[in-house]
Amino acid sequence: MAGLEQETVSSVAATTPAPTAPVVLPKTSDSENLLKIRHSMSHVMAMAVQKLFPQAQVTIGPWTETGFYYDFDNPEPFTEADLKAIKKEMGKIIGRKLPLERIEVSRDEAERRIKAQNEPYKLEILERLVEPITLYTLGEQWWDLCAGPHVANTSELNPKAFELESVAGAYWRGDETKAQLQRIYGTAWETAEQLSEHRRRKEEALRRDHRRLGKDLDLFSIEDEAGAGLVFWHPRGARMRLLIEDFWKQAHFEGDYELLYTPHVADISLWKTSGHLDFYAESMFGPMEVDERQYQLKPMNCPFHVLTYASKLRSYRELPIRWAELGTVYRYERPGVMHGLMRVRGFTQDDAHVFCLPEQISDEILRILNLTERILSTFDFSNYEINLSTKPDKAIGDDAVWELATKGLIEALERKGWDYKIDEGGGAFYGPKIDLKIEDAIGRMWQCSTIQLDFNLPERFALDYIAADGSKQRPIMIHRAIFGSLERFFGIMTENYAGDFPFWLAPEQIRLLPVTDEVLGYAEELQTQLKAAGIRASIDRSGDRLGKLIRTGEQMKIPVLAVIGAKEAEQGAASLRSRRDGDLGVITKERLISTAQSANQDRQASLSFAGSGSIGE
């Protein structure tokens, strides 16, 4: 028998397929081959469009991190049927094995070619190009101004690994006063398997869309009657926001920060001094007149923190000063770019500013990195992409100060042990910066945290401190945001969890499901005890059958459902169903309360009922 059993096991093992490795989807910026494929595929698409729609004029066609697009000026809107026809024509072009060749031409020659094709947008593009001017041909039938790179031949493009995804509106040069174009988005990969995985992730992204989940779970809304881009937090969402804010504040107090609260408006002269009126006016709401003075809503919190610093004489002994604020700001966003919680007109930044001595830069940046990791990891974000941006060509401040600041950022990153990329010349004109992107559950990267050194505002507001030698010196100012904004982070977090929030963060942690009216009194008693222990518990009083009660609770993604029948009421217990672990059996109410309290304190992903406390143990 033993030999037969061994043979059976071996046979099963031999026929069981080995687990397949996950399909990796590289970004365009990380793959030279994908860059060539997608850049070339955009030209193939444009050639196909102009073959089928001769009146269509081309503008620009760059790659994106997951594909490519091209903007067209076409008399008629493109339809789904048109996309299918364009894709079919693209397949034919790929099958013809056409070469893509780079040709360097004079400005006059490029202009002659463009005018011969009657392509006015290309003429405008040509005006901004610097020598040498290059174009790429696709066979002998089509060409466009382009710097490349491209594949050598369309035979290198996989006809089973691309797709045309959608059509959207776009203004020429992003200017609403200029022509409205049609943008066709596409994606292209090296293999059909990668395309399949890309489709799966897109479907998963739709399932996780925070706008749908926000409505289904009754978390927030944006009401047209009040205005676009203004968020209404519903009770369930507001409860979650309070939990996030309380955790954020606690983490900052433990990190030796002090909190500030500053106004929502300021006299227009403040924005002149800060430079926002000169450089940021298009993103600011217009002024309002009060008592013959003009005020404007704040688009940023930093000038208010600067004024607070300047409110009294500072000594080097006080530095570093660390101030944080959950400050609501208002910025004008064009109607076409607003998107759920991700792009709104009123939002709350988790701003902080550190005023320090030059020699304190590295230590302060490291403290910020540690705090950033602590906060983001609490929400299950642990994979980061980090970029360090250095001095641009046009910048203010002495080279020596820039060098010291950049060295401080690099030193802090290396002390932290984080890998990073250097974006040469990508810093703001007023200081170098660190940008941190977080990876979500389906591999998307989101720009989140920013650490920015600023030599501009201390100079504009003449900030100083009394140094050890009695002289007045400028402090180093560090801007810092970890969430970026509460609204956007809430949207990212909702999609990362797919609305299935960890126990400590769930707006409704435990829902009691009384089976009959006879046990309602016990359910109310248990709810009171749970609430007294700081646990967010509710009772479903609908009177529905048990199956529907459970389905409704699961649809609302409640972490724990507690069924209460006559037996549970008699035993002082509840029959639990966990979203993570399924049916847990009958648990004493004392065990339920103590375990839920522990999960809240430790911010565990979910409840764990290992050990004693179950009826019958």
Sign (positive or negative) of CA dihedral 607, 613, 616, 617:
positive
Write down the residue that tokens 């030796």 correspond to: 256
For 253-345, where are the E strands, in sequence order? 258-259, 265-267, 288-290, 293-297, 321-330
Question: Exposure of 223 by Cβ count < 10 A (0-12 exposed, 13-18 middle, 19+ buried)?
Answer: exposed
Q: Helix (H, G, I), strand (E, B), or coil: what is residue 133?
A: strand
How many residues make up the chain in this entry? 617
CA distance 373 to 380: 10
Q: Helix (H, G, I), strand (E, B), or coil: what is residue 425?
A: coil
Does residue 112 carry a catalytic annotation?
A: no
CA distance 352 to 252: 10
Cβ-based neighbours of 617, under 8 Å, separated by 6 or more: none
Q: How far is CA 609 from CA 429, 560, 585, 590, 594, in A?
A: 55, 12, 10, 12, 10
**Amino acid present at 103:** I
Residue 76 CA, chain-centre distance (Å), reads: 34
Does residue 509 carry a catalytic annotation?
A: no
Instruction: State the Rg of the chain over Cα.
Output: 30
Query: Which residues are 100's β-sheet partners?
Result: 138
Residues 49/77, Cβ–Cβ less than 8 Å: no
Q: Where are the alpha helices (DSSP H) in 23-137?
A: 32-52, 80-95, 107-117, 120-128
Sign (positive or negative) of CA dihedral 527, 529, 532, 535:
negative
Does residue 349 carry a catalytic annotation?
A: yes
Query: Which residues are 184's β-sheet partners?
Result: 70, 167
Residues 524/572, Cβ–Cβ less than 8 Å: no
Residues 440/492, Cβ–Cβ less than 8 Å: yes
Does residue 433 carry a catalytic annotation?
A: yes
CA distance 133 to 152: 19
Which residue among 198, 345, 353, 511 is the active-site one?
353
Does residue 146 carry a catalytic annotation?
A: no
CB neighbourhood size of 539 (10 A): 17
Residues 370/416, Cβ–Cβ less than 8 Å: yes
Does residue 479 carry a catalytic annotation?
A: yes
CA distance 144 to 146: 6
CA-wise closest residue to 601 among 235, 255, 250, 238: 250
Q: How far is CA 165 from CA 52, 65, 168, in A?
A: 18, 14, 10
Cβ-based neighbours of 139, under 8 Å, separated by 6 or more: 96, 98, 99
CB neighbourhood size of 18 (10 A): 5
Which residue among 36, 39, 314, 433 is the active-site one?
433
Which residue among 208, 479, 511, 591 is the active-site one?
479
Which residue among 57, 349, 452, 509 is the active-site one?
349
- Please name the helix (run of DSSP H) or strand (run of DSSP E) that holds residue 7, with its range, or none: helix 2-15
CA distance 162 to 90: 10
Does residue 302 carry a catalytic annotation?
A: yes
Which residue among 351, 435, 440, 454 is the active-site one?
351
Which residue among 36, 43, 150, 331 is the active-site one?
331
Q: Which residues are catalytic?
A: 302, 331, 349, 351, 353, 433, 479
